[in-house]
Amino acid sequence: MTLGTTLFATLASRNFSRLQTEIGTLQARIASEVRDPRPSADPTRAVQLSAAKEMEATLGRYGANASSAADRLAHADVALGEVAARMRELKDVVLQAGNPTLSDEGRAGLRIVAESAREALFALANRKDAMGQGLFAGYAAGPAFVKEGDTVRFAGNDGQPVAQLSETLRVATSLGGAEVFMAVPTEAGPRSVFELADDLVATLSVPLAHSSPQRTAEDTARLSLAAPPAPATVRFTLTGPGGSVEIEQRLPGSALAAINAASPQTGVTATEEPDGTLVLGAVGRITVSDMSRSDDPRDVLATFTSADDKGGWIMPARFDAASLTDAFDAAVSHMAEQRARAGALAASVDTQADAIRTRQTRIATAIGGLEDLDVAEAVTRLQQLLLTQEAAQQTYVKIANRSLFDYLR
């Protein structure tokens, strides 16, 4: 092939352009201190870098989940702390209500405090996090608790939101509303905090405020059981000179037969008047106590009077000051336990967040090692390219300036 002046110039121009492009690219790499990102430059490094960046993105999601979980659990902890404070406030009301010298005005003031605490409990049970999601509603979109007449119903579900904090670790970000508010372990079985609050308000209101869980008379007494709105079973303890027996009677109906059947154990006999009132007789003291009814009313269950018209209303045994105190003690302990559970979850999230940050630091170091440019090596290579460019340009100038006459001399 004949090498003409035109072809020589074209080839030289291409080489100069390639050199200039490589020099410019290397200068840009030195300025940014980043290696060539193209997979063709180093396929093995490109695969490692892709995997590292994918892990970096995954850890970023785990970190965001940890932050969200920590915020949600912090809201739950604050709410549970306020719930515990309200339960202690209600317990204090129970203790004050047990004062035998308490006036009707004082009782009315305590009732206002109890009603306010009950409303605060309802609001706290429906507390939401920063995203507007109920803290105790599970996966339900609406409120966790709703009012239906005089009762409060759990309207959430048993789902428990969780946060993915690693490839294998999922941590709950809240507690179940039903377990927190509807399952206080009392001697009478699981009760809701709202039921306990309603019981306390009822004891501070007429007629329960003027009732007693136990009535006593000497030799003779009159017992009239309150009629329930629907069939129900009443139970109470009858104590006479001979001992105590639990009486059970289905209402509507008369407890006459049940009382007389137990007469050998109690020493108490009964007769019935036309209006259904039972006249109890014994040689000694007669006591009726521990009364309850299957429909759990917040109302008077019976009237008990002695021969000299002393006595009065009998209320369910669960409204006794000692029973209420025990119930609210259980509620305070229950809330402390629930708050401890939330704290344990928050501690787990914090620990995992620290682990995520450590992993992010390590993966960032690995990515830096794959991406960062060896500046000293790059500068040496740049100097070589500049020297090569300068030599090539000088050579080109010498050759390009020659003509045929120079070769014929």
Average pLDDT along the chain: 86
Query: Domain spans of the chain?
Result: 5-34+374-408, 60-204+323-357, 213-314
- Residue 148 CB-density burial (10 A; 0-12 exposed, 13-18 middle, 19+ buried): exposed
Which token pair is 409?
Answer: 């001399």
Q: Is 103 helix (H, G, I), strand (E, B) or coil?
A: coil
Candidates 311, 134, 117, 329; CA nearest to 213 is 311
Q: How many residues can be counted in the chain?
A: 409
Is residue 102's pLDDT more than 60?
A: yes
Q: What percent of the chain lies above the pLDDT cut of 70?
A: 82
pLDDT at 8 over 80: no
pTM, full prediction? 0.77
Least confident stretch, 40-44, 212-216, 314-318: 40-44
Q: Does residue 62 register a pLDDT over 70?
A: yes
Mean pLDDT over 353-357 rounds to 93
Winning range, highest mean pLDDT, from 132-136, 370-374, 380-384: 132-136
Q: Read off the pLDDT band of 365 (50, 70, 90).
A: confident
Residue in 55, 62, 59, 71 with CA at minimum distance from that of residue 165: 62
- CA dihedral (327, 330, 334, 335) in degrees, to 10, reads 70
pLDDT reading at 17 higher than 90: no
pLDDT of residue 21: 73
User: How does residue 228 score in pLDDT terms, banded at 50, 70 and 90?
Assistant: very high
- Which residues, other chains included, contact 324 with Cβ-Cβ below 8 Å and sequence gap of 6+? 94, 196, 199, 200, 203, 318
Residue 40: CA count within 13 A, CB half-sphere:
0
Mean pLDDT of 133-155: 91
Three-state DSSP state, 196: helix
What integer pLDDT is reported at residue 292 of this predicted model? 93
Lowest mean pLDDT among 28-42, 103-117, 172-186, 272-286: 28-42
Res. 135: pLDDT tops 60: yes
* Predicted local distance difference test score (pLDDT) of residue 77: 94
Q: Determine the 3-state secondary structure of 298 from DSSP.
A: coil
pLDDT band, residue 257 (cuts 50/70/90):
very high
265-293 pLDDT, tens digit each: 999 999 999 999 999 999 999 999 999 99
Give the per-residue pLDDT at 26.
58
What is the mean predicted confidence (pLDDT) over 118-141? 92
Would you state the pLDDT for residue 51? 83
60-204+323-357 to CATH, choices 1.10.3720.10, 1.10.10.10, 1.10.287.3510, 1.20.1330.10? 1.20.1330.10
